[in-house]
Amino acid sequence: MIPEQFYHIYNRGNNKNDIFFKRDNYPYFLDKVKKHLTPHVEILAYCLMKNHFHLLVYTKEDIQAPEFSKGLNVMLRSYTRAINKQEDRVGSLFQQNTKIKALDIEGSDAMTRSHGITKPGSVDYPTTCFHYIHQNPLKAGIVKRMEDYEMSSFRDYAGLKSDVICNKSIARKLLNLPKSPNDFIKESYRVQIIHKLPADEPTDIKLRKDNLQPVKTFQFKGLLQNEGWICPAFVELDDRGSVLSIQGSSEKVTGKIEKINGFALPGFQNAHSHAFQYAMAGLGEIHPAGQRADNFWTWRNKMYQIALTIDPDQIEAIAAMLYAEMLRHGYTQVAEFHYLHHDKSGKQYTNLAEMGERLVAAAQKAGIKITLVPMFYQKGGFNKRPEDLQKRFISHTIDDYWKLLEASKNAVTNYDGASLGFGVHSLRAVHGDILTQTLKDGPKDLPFHIHIAEQVKEVEDCLDFSGKRPVEYLFDQVEVSERFHLVHATHLNDNEVKMIAKSGAHVVLCPTTEGNLGDGLFRFRDFKALDGKWSIGTDSHIGINPLEELRLLDYGQRLISHQRDTFVDETGDSGQYGFREALLGGRKAMGNPVKEYFEVGQPFDAVVFDADAPLLATSSAENLMSTIIYSGDVGMILGTTVNGGLIKKDPRVSISFQKAISKIGVRL
């Protein structure tokens, strides 16, 4: 940040959840603002809404950007700790990156990149922003008059309260505001913000396109949106790799254009991963003569034995290689279903999230985004003590798990591309009452993941234990909602299919792993008929190609139904349906509610298919998606971008992986 300039600071609750819960929270937040920010800036205006906040500030002449950034981080973290304690919650309260938009800066690149500062460069923008902040409650329909909203600085300028946090004299001088409270009120109602915003969006005032300054512009032969292809497509990005505009012509594009002869799709979402299992991919296919009883449970014992051999350096090397391969195949984010928590003897690391932190580091090294989902794993089965082979997974009590989750929350702060989920490994992995308590006391703003009904034996054991099938038992214990992600759900009866679909919960399907382990086939056609929601994952990583996952999911259903319309919806396009559901369901598994394929203000994460690939070069736009999904392979992919940057293979990742595998000795 540079001295003596205006900045608009705003953030909202994670997943648009509340950040203010009680009346006392508002003044407490302002106390934090005063303590940590006013040494560096003058506060000119503020508005605190239930799930977001806005500040208009003016930097002091002696401001030091690193010190301000530190103060802002401390302010948000200390407020979050207090609210988490008050509400008995864990996890992030705010979205990961607080937005700081520089206003009326001419020719300066001194921006605090860690907080995403951009510069629209409009002369009247500070005054417009000042009034926009005060009009938020009015535009949201919360009050009929700005004077009636107590949690903004409007009442202070209007002479209705005395608030010491705002420097009104500087604001009046710099923004040419009327000194008389009555004149101020009249002027505030005369100023109309043309661009209306959703009430719950703390997004900045939408400026005209010509006031924005893109740092990168791509031209694609085509770009896929929810409504279909834009051909050609021009995408302007800011310095953080977020979309500034998407246009169908170059008429209003500014700056140098980088032409890419390819078709851009939103990056695939990998909703289920056990990274350490990549070390044994393909090793379960050797069957000694005479040994016929090889199934999921015998495979699991081999997997447990490998899990006991891997140290933190090795898990980082294995995961980095895996994540690099995911990117090569078109995935841009992965949900890491993580339960390899402790050291080889089963003891906790000093850093409880040591292994999780290494997974985050691996994701950062590879360039993929990650949702770390630390698993609560307590038992060896229904009413069974843990086996010795499971000792690295175990949290003995719910308090042990909360500590692990808190440590994992700290781990994801090390990488801007990381976020957090939580979950229980499976119904058989915790005490029955602990499952209920975990959901009751756990975070309300994070996606919840759980394995369920993958194996026939699991169903039988659950019936013996509870008298209910797994999904019925789950619904009996907790209130299942759309934030639930039920992994596999292979063996369901009619009632269970209906229960999941009605609840809005998502099913995470991993066809290559489910096929490799002989799990069975999910009742997809019945679930789809009820508008059930789903996503895909690569699980054990016997395959890591999203196109293969989608094809195997479809073809498995065709083989048992003798019909070819598994993925057909009202559009009639099987490729479009499969891609859409996997993408949006996968985003939900990451805690990302965005439904637009590419959206202004969102990161540009994409996989680009080669327009010169013979089948694509000869296809019409209406045939592109089904050609890609049903005939595509990794050889058609030009590249994968995350935050607008092309991901390049780092040879050091492969070298580290080979050294780790050689030391473990698992593939010899």
Which of the residues are catalytic? 488, 539
Indicate the length of the chain as a whole number: 668
Residue 444 CB-density burial (10 A; 0-12 exposed, 13-18 middle, 19+ buried): middle
- Per DSSP bridges, beta strands 52-59 and 41-49 are antiparallel
DSSP state of 413: T
- Structure-token pair, residue 122: 């409009």
Name the nearest CA neighbour of 644 among 75, 17, 194, 220: 220
Name the nearest CA neighbour of 420 among 370, 376, 378, 375: 370
Q: What angle do CA 564, 567, 568 make, to 5 degrees?
A: 80
The phi and psi torsions of 381 (rounded to 5 degrees) equal 155, 175
Peptide bond into 232 cis (omega under 30): yes
3-state secondary structure at position 290: coil
What is the rounded distance in angstroms from the CA atom of residue 657 to the CA atom of residue 304? 20
3-state secondary structure at position 214: coil
DSSP codes of every residue in 361-410:
HHHHHHT-EEEEEEEE---SBTTBPPPGGGTTT---SHHHHHHHHHHHHH
Residue 83 CB-density burial (10 A; 0-12 exposed, 13-18 middle, 19+ buried): buried
Question: How far, in Å, are 218, 598, 624, 643 from residue 224 at the CA level?
Answer: 14, 8, 10, 17
Measured in whole angstroms, how far is the alpha carbon of residue 618 from the centre of its chain? 36
- Structure-token pair, residue 257: 């254009």
Give the dihedral sign, CA 578/581/586/592.
Answer: positive
Question: How far, in Å, are 170, 313, 544 from residue 324 at the CA level?
Answer: 52, 17, 11
Cβ neighbour number for residue 77 with a 10 Å cutoff:
15
Is 566 in contact with 525 (CB distance < 8 Å)? yes
What is the rounded distance in angstroms from the CA atom of residue 90 to the CA atom of residue 94? 12
Residue type at 234?
Answer: F
Question: How far separated are the first and last CA of the chain, in Å rounded?
Answer: 55
The phi and psi torsions of 114 (rounded to 5 degrees) equal -65, -20
- Structure-token pair, residue 428: 């058989």
Name the nearest CA neighbour of 522 among 473, 484, 487: 487
CB-based contacts of 459, cutoff 8 Å, min separation 6 = 453, 469, 470, 491
Beta bridge pairs of residue 487: 451, 508
What is the rounded distance in angstroms from the CA atom of residue 543 to the CA atom of residue 649? 19
411, containing H or E segment: helix 398-412
What is the rounded distance in angstroms from the CA atom of residue 510 to the CA atom of residue 335? 13
- Structure-token pair, residue 598: 């590419």
Residue with tokens 């806005």, as numbered in its chain: 54
